[in-house]
Structure 1
Amino acid sequence: MRVLVIGSGGREHALAWKIAQSPLVSALFVAPGNGGSEKVATNLAVDITDHDAVIAAAREHQIDFVVVGPDAQVVAGLGDDVRAAGITCFCPSKAAGQLEGSKSFTKALCDEFDIPTAAYGRFEDEASALAYLYTQGAPIVVKADGLAAGKGVTVAMSVEEAEEAIIDCFSGAFGASGAAVVIEEFMEGEEVSLFVLSDGQAILPLTTAQDHKRVFDGDQGPNTGGMGAYSPAPVLTRALFDETMARIVEPTIRGMAARGTPYAGVLFAGLMLTEDGPKLVEYNARFGDPECQVMMLRMESDLVPLLHAVATGTLAGHAVTWTDDFALTVIMATKGYPGDYGKGSEVEGADALDDDHLTVFHAGTKRDGNRLLANGGRVLNVTALGASVKEAQKRAYAGVDAIVWPEGFARRDIGWREVARET
């Protein structure tokens, strides 16, 4: 099987790294890829926003199976266009991708199928949003309705902070994604993520993870696309896992099918563990980044048959196995991220880090001869296995400390909640 992975981030390097291990794969390509993916696949310089260009590249390289990574391509309907060209593709439809592409779409689905989530309001103008805020008070959560690269969410602890977030959205800070705003009840509890595969009917639970969105230690500073993660997340106990499947995930898959927009892909449920049980925070219609990195390191099964079964409607009967070890990843980012940052600084030492317990997945990197250069905000994902979260954390930070990159930084407390519970 000749496989093409779409994307250029840490998630796509991790997917390519895992797919490359499959005996079913005879050739592997990544478009456009990065400085890490080129070590396990052939990078293709393709504009992935140009669907015709993606299809042309797939035909040129006789691709049998396309795996789409990024949320923007899911929401833009790349999967639909690739399938229409006669190529098997792992990617939800554009219609199903609204679970991530529109917060209000998902909220309406929750209303229709009695899926527990935060109370909310949706607004298309600043005055109405502010009026609702003043009736609700703070703390409260303000979200751009569309995709905002993980940065369109403000957990406002004061009315003034919420006002600023609302004004930012309607002033164009997130482009078209902020043309509508969803304002949600603030939910008390701990956040955790659950991942499943579905072909539109059958559901295969994968595993759990917990990520760290804030840029600085102690969960301080602005939200990012993610500064680190670990898997599994023991806080989602077996009982809570089963409750989440029964009350949130299964009604979603059934509801999407009943609506005529079956969900075929990986479904990433962001959850809040409240006093009243698990509630849905939001859905993502793709593997998380950086959650994918820790999942791929833990997965013992061949990934390719699972993704192909989703894409061909044959998931029933498949199973997945995982190592008992924990995996933890630490994001190394360019100083200034998630605000303005420079590109082109040299990163040294990353290529030497690869053993049975440690793997470095690349995100924003490119190669200039023998030099590895930073080419984005989130640049490296230093990912380690361990018998405990604490052990995986220790190994990951040993890897971080072995990398020489003065222009980069990392949080030093990834996994802190579980490490505290382990001690």
Structure 2
Amino acid sequence: MKILVVGKGGREHALVRALAESPSKPELFSFPGSEAIFRIAAPTTATDLHSLIGWMKDNGIDLCVAGEESYLVKEEGLANLCERAGIPCWGPPKQSAQLEASKEFAKEFLFRHNIPTARATAVSSLEGAVSAINGEYPTVLKFDGLAAGKGVAVCPDEASAMEFLNEVFTEKRFGEGRVLVEQCLTGPEVSIFAAIVDDRYLIFTPARDYKRALEDDQGPNTGGMGAVASRQLISPDLLDLIKTDIVQPTVDGLRNDHLPYRGFLYFGLMLTPTGPQVIEYNCRFGDPECQAVMPLVKGDLAAFCLAGAQGHLQPELISFDDGWSVCVILASAGYPESSRNGDVITGIEDVTEARVYHSGTKLTGGQWQTNGGRVLAVVAGAADREGAVTAAHAAADRISFDGLQRRTDIGILHF
């Protein structure tokens, strides 16, 4: 079996490693990949999406796994191009991936299918946003398009709202797009991941991530400073409620709206006092939740994804560890506003009892250096949360580089 994974970050590194550990022992490739990923998966000669399709056809690729969201909606769409070429793709076509690519599309889908979510208004100007907020704080502002996890702002007051709105409408930080002005929900968050194959689904291990840059959930939003995952994270009764009120109606809605779906679907949920509500959909695994969840997946993930892409949900191919997994992100100087590259990383080779996934690194003269905002994800597991927390932070302690940023309360806060 030949599998190509599309993407280059820590999420894709975790996916590639999990696929490599599958008993079916697939031959792995990656595009665009990274130097760390290329230690497990071979590179391609492709330079863009169209040449990638040609390369996959020429090299007999059996399965394409979509890791990075942008390729699902870029040009004609990765899954759409794969379908035309006769290559099974674990990832949805472009029209279905609008659930992530457009916050407005997702909100209309949620309203249409009576799936619990916050009320919201779409606006196309700064003035329209101010009118929609109408002085009610806190409020949530969401850029309508893809923004690498940075297009959402929870604004406690007018000053923070105006800062975000100026970034969107005046500075065009994320490009052209509208904004959703959304009711601010309260409660703990949880990430639910479903492998969807047409009208069937399988829930993977729930997770919770930490978005704020600083301890105690302070500081600016980031792409994620860490995550914790476990089947014990929420109760069986709550998971059943989420399946009944959110996951099943979503799967039914996709079918009713003629939106084909084969791949991972992420449900970002807020557990409000009145029940779980959808904050957002992502049409792939979350990052860094993927790094926390993948070590808990047992069995043949490669065979599972291939069967799913071919239209067959086969849950018997995989199982899930009942323990805990904790992921600690090591970020570079300046993150999230910027990132400093070129700082030498030491200590990776000293981590032997945990996994280290590379998010933003480069290899120069035989040394790993920083090359992005989120640099590494250090992940450890144990039968209980306390053991996983201790192991993950102890492993993270062994790695250092100038300007390193890290939260020491990952897996501790909110428990």
TM-score (norm 2): 0.95
Measure how far apart 1:45 and its partner are. 6.0
For 2:383, the equivalent position in structure 1 comes to 387
Secondary structure of the corresponding residue to residue 265 of structure 1:
strand
- Identify the match of residue 247 of structure 1 among 242, 245, 248: 245
The answer to whether residue 215 in structure 2 is matched with residue 217 in structure 1 is yes
Cα-to-partner distance string for 1:353-379 (whole Å, 9 max, x where unaligned): 233xx1101111122242112111111
Counterpart of 2:5, as a letter, is V
Query: Structure 2 stretches of 5 or more lacking a match?
Result: none
Question: Secondary structure at the residue paired with 2:238?
Answer: helix
8 Å contact 1:204–1:319 — kept in the other structure? no
Q: Hey, what's the Cα distance between the residues in 1 that align with 2:33 and 2:352?
A: 19
Match of 1:151 in 2: 150
Instruction: Provide the residue aligned with 2:262 in structure 1.
Output: 264
1:57–1:351: structure 2 CA closer, same or farther, 3 Å change rule? farther
Judge conservation of contact 1:116–1:280 (CA < 8 Å) in 2.
yes
Offset of residue 37 of structure 1: 1.5
C-alpha contact 1:290 1:329 (8 A) present in aligned 2: yes
Matches within 5 A, 1:358-397: 358-397=354-393
| Partner residue of 2:275 out of 274, 277, 285 | 277
1:411 to 399, 404, 407: 407
Aligned to 2:345: 347
> Take 1:296 and 1:170, find their aligned partners in 2: how far apart are those partners?
38
Residue aligning to 1:53: 51
Task: Please report how far the alpha carbon of residue 58 of structure 1 lies from its aligned counterpart in structure 2 after TM superposition.
Answer: 1.7
Q: Deviations along 1:125-168, whole A, 9 cap, x unmatched? A: 2222111112x510110010111111111101112322322232
Counterpart AA for 2:28: L
Partner of 2:83: 83
Task: Summarize deviations over 1:385-418 as a string: whole Å, max 9, x none.
Answer: 1122221111111111111312322111101235
Alpha-carbon distance, 1:243 to partner: 0.8
* Structure 1, unpaired ranges of 5+: none
1:301 and 2:278 matched: no
After superposition, the Cα gap between the structure-2 partners of 1:369 and 1:87, relative to the gap in structure 1 and judged at 3 Å, is farther
| Deviation of the 1:57 alpha carbon | 2.7
Corresponding residue for residue 96 of structure 1: 96
- 2:164 aligned with 1:162: no
Structure 2 CA distance for partners of 1:347 and 1:152, relative to 1, 3 Å? same
Equivalent position amino acid for 2:152 in 1: V
Q: Deviations over 1:312-371 (max 9, x none)?
A: 11115646311122000101111101112221221112134233xx11011111222421
Write the distance in 2 (CA, Å) between the matches of 1:26 and 1:139. 49
Does the CA contact (< 8 Å) of 2:29 and 2:44 recur in 1? yes
CA contact (8 A) 1:232 1:327 kept: yes
Aligned counterpart, 2:25: 25
Find the partner of 2:194 among 193, 196, 220: 196
* Secondary structure of the structure 2 residue equivalent to 1:97: helix
Deviation string 1:58-110 (CA, Å, 9 cap, x unpaired) is: 23433221111011112221111122122111111101101111111111111
Change (3 A) 1:227 1:291: same
* Offset of residue 257 of structure 1: 0.9
Whole-Å separation in 2 of the counterparts to 1:397 and 1:168: 35
The answer for the alignment partner of 1:286 in structure 2 is 284
Shift of the 28–235 alpha-carbon distance from structure 1 to 2, 3 Å rule, reads closer
CA distance in 2 between partners of 1:8 and 1:142 (Å): 28
Asked if residue 119 in structure 1 is aligned to residue 119 in structure 2, the reply is yes
Normalised by the length of structure 1, the TM-score is 0.94
Q: Kindly tell me: are residues 20 and 326 of structure 1, through their superposed partners in 2, closer, same or farther at Cα, counting changes over 3 Å?
A: same
Q: How does 1:100-111 map to 2 (within 5 A)?
A: 100-111=100-111
Paired residues of 1:67 and 1:91 also in contact (CA < 8 A): yes
Q: Contact 1:11/1:69 (CA < 8 Å) preserved in 2?
A: yes
Which segment drifts farther, 143-152 or 67-76?
67-76
SS in 1 for 2:162: helix
2:129 maps to 129
- 8 Å contact kept, 1:210–1:233: no
Alpha-carbon distance in 1 for matches of 2:128, 2:192: 34
- Hey, what does 1:232 align to over in structure 2? 230
Distance 1:268 1:164 in 2: 29
Structure 2 contact 206–233 (Cα < 8 Å) conserved: no
Which stretch of structure 1 is more off in the superposition, 214-223 or 338-347?
338-347
Instruction: Show the counterpart of 2:66.
Output: 68
Cα distance in 1 between the residues matched to 2:350 and 2:60: 34
CA distance in 1, matches of 2:341, 2:59: 31
Q: Using the TM superposition, give the Cα deviation of residue 179 of structure 1 relative to its aligned residue in structure 2, in angstroms.
A: 1.6
Distance 1:330 1:125, change over 3 A: same
> In the alignment, does 2:178 pair up with 1:180?
yes
1:25-74 deviation per Cα after TM superposition (whole angstroms, max 9, x unaligned)? 34211122223212222234644xx2112113323433221111011112
